[in-house]
Each structure stands twice: as C-alpha cells, then as structure tokens.
C-alpha cells in the first residue's frame, strides 16, 4: 500500500512563491501561478475520489469565519506548542 | 448518486441551519469569555460547534439535542482509539473495542434519524436536512418510475444511510474542525488580513450582522474565499490519504 503525502505539492515553491507565508492574494489574480496550476492544490484530493464535500466545506467555512469576523474579536496567545501539529488517524 | 445531497438548492438549506448554529455557539463563547477572560485552547470548542452543525445539517430535527452531544463525545472516543499504528483486535477493554462500542451507540441514533426522515417525507414533509433530501430523491424517482415506467430506483436501508452519514461525520469532525481552527489562528496572527476580511463583510452585509448569510452573498466574498483557500493550503487538515486498490474478477 502506498500512502502519498499531499503536503509537498501544497508547498511547492515553483507554484506558490514563499510557500510558508499566508498570502491570500495569490488566489485573487486568475492568471497567478497558483490559479493556473490547479493540479497542485490537492487539499480535497483529486480524480474520481475527490472529496464530495468540497463545495459544502468552502460554504461552511465562509459562513463560520465570515460571521465570526463580524461578531467577535480574538487573540492568539503564542506558546511553544503554537506551531506543533498533532496528527490523528481517522 | 450522493451528488444530489450537495446541489445548490440543498446547500442553501444547510447554510441557513449552519448560520443559526454558528451564531448560537459564538454567543456562548462570548458569554464564557466575559465570565472567565483567561486564554483557552479552542480545539474542543470548535469541534463541538462543528459536530452540532454537521449533525443538524445531516439529520435535521430527526435527532434529539442530547443525542448530538452524546454522538460528539462518542465520536471523539473513536478518533482517539485510531492511533497511527494499532492492532486491529477488538479484545474487551482495549481502545479498539471501546471504539466499536462508541460506533454502535452513534449508529443507533443515526439509524433512528433515517427511519424518522422516511416517515416524515412519506407524510409529505418538506426537505429540511441531508437525509430528507436523499429520501425525497428516492421517493420521487420511485413515483416517476411508477407513472412513466422504467427502472425503479434502488432503495437504501436505514443502516446503509446511517453508514454514509457516519462517514461524512468523520470528514467533518476532524478535517473541517482542523481547517476552522487553523483559520482562527491564521487570522489572529495576521491582523492585516482580518481587517480586509472585515472590510469585505461590511460591504456585502451592508452593516447588517444579524441577518443570515446567503449563498449569493458568499459568492460575492472573493477575499474571504481566497483566505480560506490559502489557509487550507498552508495547513492542510488532511495530509495523507491511504488508498487500497482491489482487483476483482467479474463473473459476467
């Protein structure tokens, strides 16, 4: 069994300049490298088994985060664990 | 065939529910923060909102409120039991055994919800959640086959439907929760981005923050959509997908 990781394709510097920086602007220009290279964007997988809930997820996140931005203020108190990621198998 | 559960018409029904539930949770968070302003981790807080929202989207009012929180807790036990490596032996007392008991408990509620949805739609009820949309689609196809001839659609048992909902819950409770949590972190770490998100929200909602957001409004939020896409790129909630190919001989 082969378990590929999608992480390298999402941090490929040839497609995403400064891949470790959060830069929403890279998605705003339809001619940008990010937008013209959709095969690298494997967040929802690819092919016949691509996530069926992709539209649902984007809608749901936009609803939650858009409303959160309107109604709340929040702060992130950085700790030594702030950049650690706990992986779980599901 | 599951695509009919994600049509634009269906998404609009789900969105209305999600908006209401998100607001309910935000009000709770703000009340809690007013009582105790100490910083807190948000993982379980966000996951809890997500489970509530997902279960209502999937099962509507066919599931009682206390069952939502029960399933949310049971599901966490299933997730915790699935370590990266463990022996698939369900010996009583082991984590795997515990997970199987949790799964059974969750399945009972979900099967019950599917049975209720079938009764509700058969009695002429309107679609108000995902399983309703599924039941209605089968019922309509059946009626069409009866009047116009043609092949009758495949019907799904409560158990089959509940298994699909269970698999959707898996995707929702870990991947979506993780995506939302990273987004909260990213926006807190980048106030200049949050300012732009708020400017766009102001414009689209015309200063009215109390009304529910619609699909058309979301379509008109290119900046927020770009932030979501970028947040998911930087910190993808799912990094590895195992796949197992099976070759089978066909007898035809």
| A77, part of any domain | no
**Residue of A22, A56, A74 lying closest to B6 (CB–CB):** A56
CA nearest A55 in B: which residue? B6
CA B152 to chain centre: 30
Ranges of residues in chain A whose predicted pLDDT is under 70: 1-2, 88-90
On whether any CB of chain A is under 8 Å from the CB of B209, the answer is yes
| Residue A62: burial class (beta carbons within 10 Å; 0-12, 13-18, 19+) | buried
For chain A, how many structural domains are there in total? Answer: 1
Tokens representing residue B219 in the block? 């379509």
The predicted structure's pLDDT at residue A1: 61
pLDDT tens by residue, A64-74: 999 999 999 99
pTM to 2 decimals? Answer: 0.89
Cβ pair A89, B82 in contact under 8 A: yes
Of B30, B13, B237, B22, the closest CA to residue A62 belongs to: B22
| A41, part of any domain | yes
The alpha carbon of residue A40 is apart from the nearest alpha carbon of chain B, in Å, by: 10
The predicted structure's pLDDT at residue A80: 81
**Helix B177-189 with B191-205: angle, nearest 10 deg:** 110
Structural domain boundaries, residue A39: 7-71
Cα–Cα dist A44/B88, whole Å: 28
Cβ pair B134, B5 in contact under 8 A: yes
CA nearest A15 in B: which residue? B233
Q: Give the SS3 label for residue B189.
A: helix
Task: Tell me what ipTM this predicted complex has.
Answer: 0.93
CATH class of segment(s) B2-189: mainly alpha
Q: What angle do CA B203, B207, B211 make, to 5 degrees?
A: 110
What are the sequence ranges of the domains in chain B? 2-189
The predicted structure's pLDDT at residue A22: 97
**Residue of B11, B187, B241 lying closest to A55 (CB–CB):** B11
The owner of tokens 């995902």 is B130
DSSP string, B64-83: -HHHHHHHHHHHHHHHHH--
The predicted structure's pLDDT at residue B252: 39
pLDDT tens by residue, B152-191: 888 899 999 999 999 888 877 788 999 999 999 999 999 9
Phi, psi at B242, each rounded to 5°? -80, 145
The predicted structure's pLDDT at residue A54: 92
Cα–Cα dist A13/A55, whole Å: 27
| A49, part of any domain | yes
The alpha carbon of residue A25 is apart from the nearest alpha carbon of chain B, in Å, by: 7
Tokens representing residue A29 in the block? 């220009």
B31 vs B77, which has greater pLDDT?
Answer: B31
The predicted structure's pLDDT at residue B241: 63
Of B77, B46, B236, the closest CA to residue A90 belongs to: B77
The predicted structure's pLDDT at residue B153: 86
| A85, part of any domain | no
């Amino acid at each position: 069994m082969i378990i590929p990781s999608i992480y390298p394709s999402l941090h490929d510097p040839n497609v995403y300049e400064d891949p470790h920086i959060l830069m929403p602007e890279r998605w705003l220009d339809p001619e940008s490298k990010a937008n013209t290279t959709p095969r690298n964007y494997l967040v929802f997988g690819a092919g016949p088994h691509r996530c069926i809930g992709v539209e649902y997820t984007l809608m749901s996140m936009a609803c939650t985060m858009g409303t959160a931005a309107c109604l709340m203020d929040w702060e992130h108190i950085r700790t030594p664990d702030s950049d650690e990621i706990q992986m779980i198998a599901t | 065939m599951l695509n009919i559960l994600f049509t634009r018409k269906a998404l609009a029904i789900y969105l209305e529910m999600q908006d209401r539930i998100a607001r309910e949770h935000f009000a709770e968070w703000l009340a809690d923060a007013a009582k105790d302003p100490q910083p807190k981790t948000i993982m379980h807080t966000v996951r809890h909102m997500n489970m509530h929202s997902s279960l209502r989207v999937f099962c509507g009012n066919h599931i009682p409120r206390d069952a939502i929180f029960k399933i949310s807790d049971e599901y966490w036990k299933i997730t915790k039991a699935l370590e990266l490596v463990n022996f698939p032996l369900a010996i009583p007392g082991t984590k795997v055994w515990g997970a199987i008991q949790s799964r059974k408990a969750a399945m009972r509620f979900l099967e019950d919800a599917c049975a209720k949805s079938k009764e509700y739609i058969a009695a002429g009820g309107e679609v108000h959640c995902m399983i309703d949309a599924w039941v209605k689609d089968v019922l309509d196809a059946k009626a069409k086959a009866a009047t116009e001839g043609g092949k009758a659609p495949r019907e799904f048992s409560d158990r089959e439907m509940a298994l699909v909902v269970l698999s959707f819950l898996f995707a929702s409770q870990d991947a979506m929760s993780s995506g939302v949590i990273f987004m909260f972190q990213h926006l807190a770490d980048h106030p200049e981005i949050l300012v732009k998100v708020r400017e766009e929200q102001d414009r689209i909602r015309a200063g009215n923050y109390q009304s529910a957001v619609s699909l058309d409004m979301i379509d008109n939020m290119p900046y927020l959509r770009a932030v979501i896409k970028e947040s998911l790129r930087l910190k993808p909630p799912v990094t590895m997908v195992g796949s197992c190919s099976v070759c089978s001989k066909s007898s035809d």
